């Protein structure tokens, strides 16, 4: 049976699940970047850049309206900004965890607008605007966005179908959606990955981050997330077209891409 949404241990409905996820990410925000890079052996940096390059064409359009939702501490946002032209419309970087968003804002609000070794901001440089927002209740107008992307956040939504429906509403006809998420590879790689993900990762996460729950939740949430064929079917059911999945690093992660039909009004 396909999971309908994230359900951390001890939660029974969508509201409780959403609040549990928010509290979890607020708690691990101070060590989130370190843990991500250590636990992924820095491969996550390659994933951000590769996902951003997939949308190079829309990023190159200065007036394109772009949202990075569930942006966390801003790694994907920064990868997107590197492909924006000077003077381009700011990227909207949204997350419902205030602690994560605050850390991200330090990156894409300051670092992106400064030259190395120079304290003066480059006002013409691409930058992002932090936005405290829930992916299931986006605050922008319907049909207003050219691109929505999310990295390792969609899996944490309390209702996957509602999330896809919300993204569909907010995109312009012809607008694109990209969802970067973990998956469970098969074969020998899958067995080794499962051992690392379920045994090693929680132990290291607890050691470095001082938090037990989040790094036990992570492998459980990946195991419960729809497999690529099921996820693609959900995207089509939500009204999207040209749905595809590109695996990264033997299928440990992958990028889902799709489009709102251009002919819709």
Q: Is pLDDT above 90 for 216?
A: no
Report the C-alpha gap between 30 and 185 in whole angstroms.
30
Asked if residue 183 belongs to a domain, the reply is yes
Identify the band that residue 38 occupies on the pLDDT scale cut at 50, 70 and 90.
Answer: low
* CB neighbours of residue 189 within 10 Å: 13
CA geometry: angle 189, 190, 193, nearest 5 deg: 85
Residue 1 inside a domain? The answer is no
Lowest mean pLDDT among 32-36, 87-91, 161-165, 221-225: 32-36
Per-residue pLDDT reduced to its tens digit, 140-185? 999 999 999 999 999 999 999 999 999 999 999 999 999 999 888 8
177 domain residue, yes or no:
yes
Residue 28 binned pLDDT confidence (cut-offs 50, 70, 90): confident
pLDDT score of 9:
84
Residue 6 within a domain: no
- The pLDDT of residue 141: 97
Rounded to an integer, the average pLDDT of 186-211 is 70
Asked if 21 and 95 touch (Cβ cutoff 8 Å), the reply is no
For residue 4, tell me if it sits in a domain. Answer: no
Percentage with pLDDT > 90 across the chain: 60
More confident residue, 127 or 163: 163
Q: What is the CATH number of the domain that holds 63?
A: 3.40.50.150
What pLDDT shows up at residue 99?
A: 94
The predicted pLDDT at position 40 comes to 72
Query: How far apart, in whole angstroms, are the C-alpha atoms of residue 110 and residue 128?
Result: 9
Total of domains in the chain: 1
Instruction: Write down the pLDDT at residue 210.
Output: 58
What was the pLDDT predicted at 115? Answer: 47
Instruction: Report if residue 31 sits inside a domain.
Output: yes
pLDDT at 223 (0 to 100) = 84
What is the domain range of residue 60?
A: 14-259
> What is the reported pTM?
0.91
DSSP 141: P
Tell me what pLDDT residue 246 has. 97
How far apart, in whole angstroms, are the C-alpha atoms of residue 56 and residue 37? 24
Which of 70-74, 109-113, 235-239 comes out lowest in average pLDDT?
Answer: 109-113
User: Residue 110: what pLDDT?
Assistant: 54
Label residue 115 exposed, middle or buried (CB < 10 Å: 0-12, 13-18, 19+).
Answer: exposed
- Tens of pLDDT, residues 56-65: 999 999 999 9
Of the candidate ranges 5-14, 103-112, 199-208, 249-258, the one whose mean pLDDT is the lowest: 199-208
| pLDDT for residue 145 | 98
Residue 102 within a domain: yes
């Amino acid at each position: 049976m396909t999971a309908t949404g994230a359900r951390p241990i001890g939660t029974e409905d969508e509201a409780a699940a959403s609040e549990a996820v928010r509290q979890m990410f607020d708690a691990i925000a101070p060590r989130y970047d370190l843990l991500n890079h250590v636990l992924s052996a820095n491969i996550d940096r390659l994933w951000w850049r590769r996902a951003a390059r997939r949308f190079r064409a829309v990023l190159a359009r200065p007036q394109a309206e772009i949202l990075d939702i569930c942006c966390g501490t801003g790694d994907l946002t920064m990868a997107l900004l590197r492909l924006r032209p000077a003077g381009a419309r700011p990227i909207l970087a949204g997350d419902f965890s205030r602690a994560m968003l605050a850390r991200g804002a330090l990156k894409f609000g300051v670092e992106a607008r400064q030259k190395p070794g120079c304290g003066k901001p480059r006002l013409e440089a691409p930058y992002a605007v932090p936005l405290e927002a829930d992916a299931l209740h986006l605050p922008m107008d319907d049909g207003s966005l050219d691109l929505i992307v999310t990295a390792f956040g969609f899996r944490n939504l309390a209702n996957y179908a509602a999330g896809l429906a919300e993204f569909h509403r907010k995109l312009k006809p012809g607008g694109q959606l990209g969802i970067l998420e973990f998956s469970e590879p098969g074969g020998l790689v899958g067995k080794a990955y499962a051992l690392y993900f379920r045994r090693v990762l929680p132990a290291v996460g607890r050691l470095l981050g001082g938090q037990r729950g989040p790094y036990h939740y992570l492998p459980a949430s990946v195991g419960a997330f729809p497999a690529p064929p099921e996820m693609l079917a959900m995207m089509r059911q939500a009204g999207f077209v040209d749905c595809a999945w590109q695996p990264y690093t033997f299928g440990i992660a992958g990028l889902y891409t799709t489009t709102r039909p251009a002919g819709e009004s």
